[in-house]
Amino acid sequence: MSTTPAQTRTKDRFPVRLITADARAAAEKLLQIDCPLVARVLERFVRDEVLRAGFHRVIVGLSGGVDSSLSAYVAVRALGRENVIGVRMPYRTSSVESLAHAQLVADDLGIRLLTVPITAQIDAYFAQFPDADRLRRANKMARERMTILYDLSMAHHALVLGTSNKTELLLGYGTQYGDMACALNPLGDLYKSQVWLLARWIGVPEVIVHKPPTADLWIGQTDEAELGLRYRDVDRLLVLMIDARWTKSMLIEGGFAPEFIEDVAERVRRSQYKRTLPLFAKVSHRTIARDFRYSRDWGT
């Protein structure tokens, strides 16, 4: 799913160094969440922002993973199960387990579940580009799923609910205008470790919370193998680097390997474009998003 050039990465690319007890404690304290309160915050967010936009329903792509499952659980608490639609969009290589887990979530929540396979259109497209590498194929699949969600969004008058977490967003581990595309995203300010905590508390089935995260874009793919990072480690680093504004020297003192710090900082920098609007050439005195500044909730 990453749009960085495909390369073989192994786990633990970085020298194994234990972070200090102080750094660990500081990071864990910041990563801790009070689940009942956070759930209430996210529910109010989903309810208010959906209603403000003139909708009362959401649609969410269910991959069978923990992020999209959690989004669906939050949405049901916010809007009621009759107002949440799940969509499975399998490709022929998608794992049977992913499909089963999406079904498990839909059954547990009692929400409507649609299944729209993407094999035919993806294969038809790549028949023109037989040499396309797997990353191109993965990005294309993510964007194909986006167009389906937005089409169904219109058909069902339902806003597309996002499922990207803060770790993925900061690392740029997502497809721009693909899985990152949505109308609103309740998980965008929660690190992966926090997603796990909340998912467990809210009742996402343990089999989903516990399994290794995967975008399931090719057989055997796992996030951590592709990233060459463990979520637990990178969350600790990110929360200290981003939220607590630790400097590089503080992080090194905290026991993080300098190469690890640099790699992560560089990923965050390089993917900034994915987290912003496209750049507009300034020509007029009042340019959209630069000196034409209105909130999205303008007049609602």
Partner 1 sequence: MLRFALAQIAPRLARLQENLALHVELVQQAFAAGAEVVVFPELSLTGYFLRDLVPEVALRRDAAQLAKLASLTREKGMLAFGFVEETPDYRYFNAVAVCWQGCLQGVHRKIYLPTYGMFDEQRYWAAGRCLRTFDSPYGKIGVLICEDVWHLSLVVLLAAHEVDYAFFVANSPFRGPSSPEPDPQRTWHVLNACAAMHLAAPVAFVNRAGCEEGVIFWGGSEFLNPDGTLRARADLIDEQLLIVEYDPRQTRQYRISTPLRRDENLLLTYHELQNLLERRHSGIR
Query: Which residue in 160, 146, 137 sits closest to 216, CA to CA?
Result: 137
**Residue 280 binds partner 1, judged by CB under 8 A:** no
- Say how many residues make up the chain: 300
Token digits of residue 57: 């329903």
CA distance 13 to 16: 9
Q: Which of residues 25-54 bind partner 1 (CB under 8 A)?
A: 29-30, 32-34, 36-38, 40-41, 44-45, 47-49
Closer residue to partner 1 (CB): 159 or 184: 184
Q: Which residues pair with 139 in a beta bridge?
A: none
What CA–CA distance (Å, rounded) separates 236 from 157?
39
For strand 84-88 and strand 159-160, is the pairing parallel, antiparallel, or unpaired?
unpaired
Q: Which is nearer to partner 1, 51 or 132 (CB)?
A: 51
User: Binding string, 55-94, against partner 1, x = CB under 8 A?
Assistant: ----------------------------------------
CA proximity to 269, closest of 92, 21, 4: 4
User: Please, what is the minimum distance in Å from the beta carbon of residue 41 to partner 1?
Assistant: 5
What is the footprint of partner 1 within residues 169-208 (CB under 8 A)?
A: 184, 194
Q: Name the strands in the sheet holding 112-115, side by side, starting at the edge strand that comes first in the sequence.
A: 112-115, 84-88, 58-61, 159-160
Q: Which stretch binds partner 1 (CB under 8 A): 10-18, 134-142, 276-284, 290-298?
A: 290-298
Q: At closest approach, how far in Å is the CB of 233 from partner 1?
A: 20
**Residue 292 found at the interface with partner 1 (CB under 8 A):** yes
Q: How far apart are CA 87 and CA 156, in angstroms?
A: 12
Minimum distance of partner 1 from residue 189's CB (angstroms): 9
Cβ contact 19:236 at 8 Å: yes
Residues 26 and 33: their CA atoms lie apart, in Å, by 14
Q: Note whether 282 binds partner 1 by CB under 8 A.
A: no
Q: Is residue 297 a contact residue for partner 1 (CB under 8 A)? A: yes
Smallest distance from the beta carbon of 194 to partner 1, in angstroms? 8
Q: Does the footprint of partner 1 cover residue 296 (CB under 8 A)?
A: yes
Picking from 117, 186, 137, the residue whose alpha carbon sits closest to that of residue 3 is 137
Q: Which stretches of 53-172 are DSSP H helices?
A: 66-79, 96-109, 119-126, 134-156, 166-171
- Cα(271)–Cα(169) distance, rounded to whole angstroms? 8
Pick the stretch among 4-12, 91-99, 123-131, 288-296 that binds partner 1 (CB under 8 A). 288-296
| Residues touching partner 1, count (CB under 8 A) | 26
Q: Does residue 293 interact with partner 1 by CB under 8 A?
A: yes
Q: Which CB, 96 or 285, lies closer to partner 1?
A: 285
Among 8, 10, 128, 295, binds partner 1 (CB under 8 A): 295
Q: Where does this chain bind partner 1 (CB under 8 A)?
A: 29-30, 32-34, 36-38, 40-41, 44-45, 47-49, 184, 194, 292-300
